[in-house]
Chains A and B, each alone.
Chain A
Amino acid sequence: QKEVEQNSGPLSVPEGAIASLNCTYSDRGSQSFFWYRQYSGKSPELIMSIYSNGDKEDGRFTAQLNKASQYVSLLIRDSQPSDSATYLCAVRRAAGNKLTFGGGTRVLVKP
C-alpha cells in the first residue's frame, strides 16, 4: 500500500463544473496536508494547505480534511480550462520537512 494514494485519472469535467479530488494517507502521524498543482513540464505550485479537520476555502478551491478517516480532498468550483493540470496531494509529519506525495490526479477541464 502506498503511503499517499490518489486516483490517477484523468478526471474530465466540463467548464464551470465542480472537480472533486480525493487523497488517502496511511501514516497517522501526518499533521500537515498540501495540494500542489503541476502543469505539464513545470514544477509543482502550492494551491492549498490544511492542518486541522474541516474545510478551508480559498477562492474557487476548498480543501477538506478528516484525520479520523485519513482522508483529504480538494474541490475546484467553476472549473476553467486553465485548471487542467495534475494535482498532487502531499502530507508531512509533525517533525521534519519531508513531504510524501501521492501519484497525482490528472484533471482535464473541457470547454
Chain B
Amino acid sequence: KAGVTQTPRYLIKTRGQQVTLSCSPISGHRSVSWYQQTPGQGLQFLFEYFSETQRNKGNFPGRFSGRQFSNSRSEMNVSTLELGDSALYLCASSSAGGENIQYFGAGTRLSVL
C-alpha cells in the first residue's frame, strides 16, 4: 500500500508569490490534515479536510487555504508569501475510523527568499 505522497519535495519562492502544495493520501483514507513545521514554532496544525469539507482549522492567517477533491487528494495554497512562511509543510492522512492514526508524508520544504 502506497504511503502519503507530497509534491513537490522542495520549492523556492520569493516574497509576494503564491504556492500550491499537493498531497495524495493513503488509499482509502478520507481525512487529510496539513501541518507546518519550523525550528522556532515546531509542528503546528493548519487545517483538516474530510469528504471535501474543511473540518478543523488552526490559527493561521487567511493567506493559508486548502481544498480537497472527490478522490481525497488535497492541495494547500499560500498566497502573498512572507519570509516567515519558510518551513516544512507536512500532510497527514487518516482513515477517520478506528484509532484514526495520522500517517505523514515526506513533506514539502518551502524556502521563501
* A interface list, Cβ under 8 A from B: 32, 34, 36, 42-46, 49, 51, 88, 90, 96-104
Q: Which among A36, A42, A97 is the interface contact of B100 at CB below 8 angstroms?
A: A97
Please report the C-alpha to C-alpha distance between residue A44 and residue B37 in the assembled complex, in whole angstroms. 11
Most buried by B among A36, A46, A98, A102: A98
Q: Does B56 contact A (CB under 8 A)?
A: yes
Which B residues touch A51, using CB under 8 A? 99
Q: Which residue of A lies closest to B47 (CB)?
A: A98
Q: Which among B45, B96, B101, B105 is the interface contact of A98 at CB below 8 angstroms?
A: B45
* B interface list, Cβ under 8 A from A: 31, 33, 35, 42-45, 48, 50, 55-56, 58, 90, 92, 94, 96, 99-107
Given A34-B101, A101-B35, 5 new contacts (CB under 8 A)? A43-B105, A44-B104, A51-B99, A90-B43, A99-B102
The reply to whether B101 and A96 form a contact with Cβ atoms under 8 Å apart is no
Please report the C-alpha to C-alpha distance between residue A98 and residue B100 in the assembled complex, in whole angstroms. 11
Which A residues touch B43, using CB under 8 A? 44, 88, 90, 99, 101
